[in-house]
Each structure stands twice: as C-alpha cells, then as structure tokens.
Amino acid sequence: MSTENEGATGPSEAMPPTGPQASDSAPASASGAQTPDTPPVPATPPAAPPPPDFAPTTSGAPHGHAGPAPVGGTPGDQDRTVTMGAHPQPGRPHSGGGWGQQPPYGGGGDPWGAPGGSVPRKRNGGLIAAVLVAALVAGGIGGGIGFWAAGRDDTASTTVSAPGNPEALNRKPTSVSGIAQKALPSVVTIEAQGMTGEGGTGTGFIYDKQGHILTNNHVVASAAEGGGKLTVTFSNGKKYDAEAIGRAEGYDVAVIKLKHASDAVLQPLPLGRSANVQVGDATIAIGAPFGLSGTVTTGIISAKDRPVASSDGGGTSASYMSALQTDASINPGNSGGPLMDAGGNVIGINSAIQSAGSGGLGGEPQQSGSIGLGFAIPIDQAKRVAQDLIKTGRPVYPQIGVQVGMKDTGDGATIAQSGNNGTDAVTPGGPADKAGLRPGDTITKLDDTVIDSGPTLISEIWQHKPGDQVTLTYKRGGKENTAQVTLGQRTGDK
C-alpha cells in the first residue's frame, strides 16, 4: 500500500495518491469565462420626441501575461487538483481554476449595506465585455422619463442631468466598496518566471512594513526553484522585483520580500482570526483572475474545516489543508490573494478551487469556470507558517510519527503495517509510539474531528503546532481506544 509518513515524512518527498485515478501502489497528484462578443443593442425609446442617444461602450482586457502556463494551458497561476475528504473530485486550486460567481444574497442586496447595483467586469484574453440589453433598456426608460418631465411643451430643447446628491455616493467604510478601496493598495499581482520561461500570474498581500508579502507556494515555485524572476505589481501600477524568503510546500504558503521595500508605500492588511469564522459569514476575495488584477468578488463562508489535498498536475507539489470553503468567485490568478471578512480582516489565503469537469484530452483536467467551490488556507495557520519562514526560511511541520494509507476509504486513517522503503510505520520513540499506537490501528478522530482518511488526518494535525497535545481515537481489533499524543516536529526544506 502506498503510504505517507504523516509528519515524519516531509512534504518535499513524493506525495500520496489522492486523486480519482489514484491507486494504493502508485503515487498520484492531488491538489487547488467568457461570453461571446455581443454587438451593442440600442434601447427602444418611448414614443413621441426621441430621447438622447444611448451608445454603449465596449472594452476588453488582455490577459497580461505572455508566458506559457506550466500545466493547464491558461496563462496565469498554476492549475491544481483538489481532493476533499473521503470523496476525491477532480478540480483545480483557487489560483488555477475558473469560477463564475452566483450571488449569495437574495434580492440583490449585500451584507455590508452598500447600495445595490452591478459593476461591469473585464474579461480576459482580449474578449469584449458587452453591455447587457437589460441595462440599456433601463437606461432608455430613465432617459425617457427625464425628457418627458422636463419638456412636455414640445417647443423647447431640454438638457437632461442626473439628480445630484453627493452624499448618496459616499460609501460606508464597512461596505464592500469601502473595504475594497482600503484593501486594494495592499494587494499585489505576482508574476513568476522560471529560467526556461515557465511561470504564471498569482496574487499576494502585504504582510508587514518590512516588505514581506504572503502568498501561495505554488504561485512562486517556478521562479524560486529555477533561479527565475519574481515581479510584484501594486494597484497603482508600480512594479518591484522580489525574492523568495521561504516556502512551505506542504502548507502551500510562501513569503516573498520586495527588494526595494523603502521605495514602496507598505500598508499591511489586518489579520483576523479564522478560528472565529462561522458558516454564513460574508467574505470578500481580491486577486488577479486570468491576469485581471484588482478584481473584487463577494460570497459567504460555505463550510469550515473542509479537508482538502491539492497538488499541481505533475505531482511535484502537494499540500493539505483544513480549509475555509467559500462561494466567492475565484479563478486562475486568484491564488495567494486574501479572503477577508465583513470587517476587512484577512481570514484566509485563497488557494484551491473545485472544478466541475475532468478527463480532458490525455486525462488532463479541463479548464472550467467558477462553480462556487473555493478553498482558503485559514489565516491562523498561515500566520504561524509565515512567522517560521521569516525567522528561519524553513517551515516546521507538527507530526505524530506514523505512516498511514492515503487511499480515501471514509473509514479512517489506518497506520500501515510497514513503512516506505523498509522503515517503521510507527517511528520508534515518536509521539504515536509513546502513546501506544501500533501498525494496523485505524485513527477515526482527532479531538472532536472525525478522521475519514489519511489526507484528513494530515490536514488536521497541521492545524496545530509542535508541542500541542491532542486526543486520538482509534480502533484496534474491533475495539475503540483513545490516546493522548503530544505532537512532535519536523523541520522541512520547504
């Protein structure tokens, strides 16, 4: 059986099979829209004197990144696959998959009390953003009313203007607009390019005034591993070179630093507490989907503690998280960007998305639009990892010192009878060994969290830090037992 040393085996080693095509014997990777051009449709004015012309404008935005994507063919942040709990599904990490947002609130309102209304959004790849017919009709009606109210004598020309009320345009600081305007200068677009030209576009945000930026490992890996180049672009268009300070592949967290931080205006985003998040809380995501930097989307927390294993298509990078799930629209390029609460505090790092389809040509996952299933690394975990990376440049992984089967069965995480390459499945003298666990034991709970698989066990352990004491519930010979385990640690290269 293919196994993963849960804690004792570092994330830099070959990752276990977690995808739908995985088997117990061969490792497999697991991991993290457009409309056709529409010609403008003139509004139909009311009868009688003709209203003013309504000439819709069209605009397009190129993707903004000429380099080839490393996996999925879409320039931008890398494609990844997500596996959730005991039911692996083909998908992509948030930075590497496309999603279309569904309004999470009925009636067109929003939880921040901002005025209703929609904001036209640019599309990638030079596509034209056509003005909706409904908007034109609404505009025609409004113009017609203004005209008739002002000029019923049919003899004089009339100038129509919108009613003026400057106060109506003031946005509350707690509205989506208020939060976005404050946060956007602290959110950056990251372009990573390896020595051979591979790379893509992702997102990051200012972590401190020393110029550290928090993002995903898979956003910067191509440049950091190959001696490539990292470029950071702020919302005002200014660009800066950056360097990788530390990367945690297992957590999918990385810290980079501006090379000339003194030249930039650095305003760190406030960090919230992901432990305090509740299902149904409002969320705001900011990023650069398909290279469209400064894109703001909203949603809610759909679920907490969602076990997610994510990896790139090549199996060279895999991570495990007990994720925050959100329905805010997240697409390729959003990876590494902040997921914020209704107070403008960062509660997670957008990292992976679930794709609706898989099995394209050659068995590769298909690129698809947002289906409202996005996953973010909880900020409580990401903050701890970032502090380790800034301090030492290396991540620290808590461990219990066992190797478990990684096939998703839904029945728990079973300790292997023998470890990889002839090693012990239970590390002698390790935390699990001291607590009395043996090969063949099936771990079913960690504290109050149900464990349905090896990836779930890892993601839950990595929510803690070395030295924490946890209660493991396990089955042996059909009987249920519990053990108190003090987590050990392993320092990784990445």
Which of 375, 318, 322 shows the shortest CA–CA distance to 349? 375
Catalytic residue among 335, 355, 358, 370: 335
Q: Can 335 be counted among the known catalytic residues?
A: yes
Residues 6+ positions from 307 with CB-CB distance below 8 Å = 84, 85, 320, 321, 322, 323, 452, 453, 455, 456, 459, 460
Residues 6+ positions from 271 with CB-CB distance below 8 Å = 345, 346, 379, 383
Taking the C-alpha atoms of residue 453 and residue 404, their distance in angstroms, rounded to an integer, is 9
Residue ranges of E strands in 229-367: 229-233, 239-248, 253-258, 282-287, 295-312, 318-326, 338-340, 346-353
How many other CB atoms sit within 10 Å of the CB of residue 176? 22
Q: Can 252 be counted among the known catalytic residues?
A: yes
278 vs 301, 303, 324, CA distance in Å?
7, 8, 10
* Rounded to 5°, angle at Cα 482 from 477 and 483: 115
What's the one-letter identity of residue 214? L
Please classify residue 482 by burial: count the beta carbons closer than 10 Å to its beta carbon, then call 0-12 exposed, 13-18 middle and 19+ buried.
Answer: exposed
Q: Judge whether 269 and 205 are in contact, CB under 8 Å.
A: yes
Q: Can 218 be counted among the known catalytic residues?
A: yes
Which of 273, 323, 329, 275 shows the shortest CA–CA distance to 303? 323
9 vs 24, 251, 406, 421, 424, CA distance in Å?
17, 14, 13, 12, 12
Catalytic residue among 65, 218, 274, 312: 218
Residues shown for the chain: 494
Active site residues: 218, 252, 335
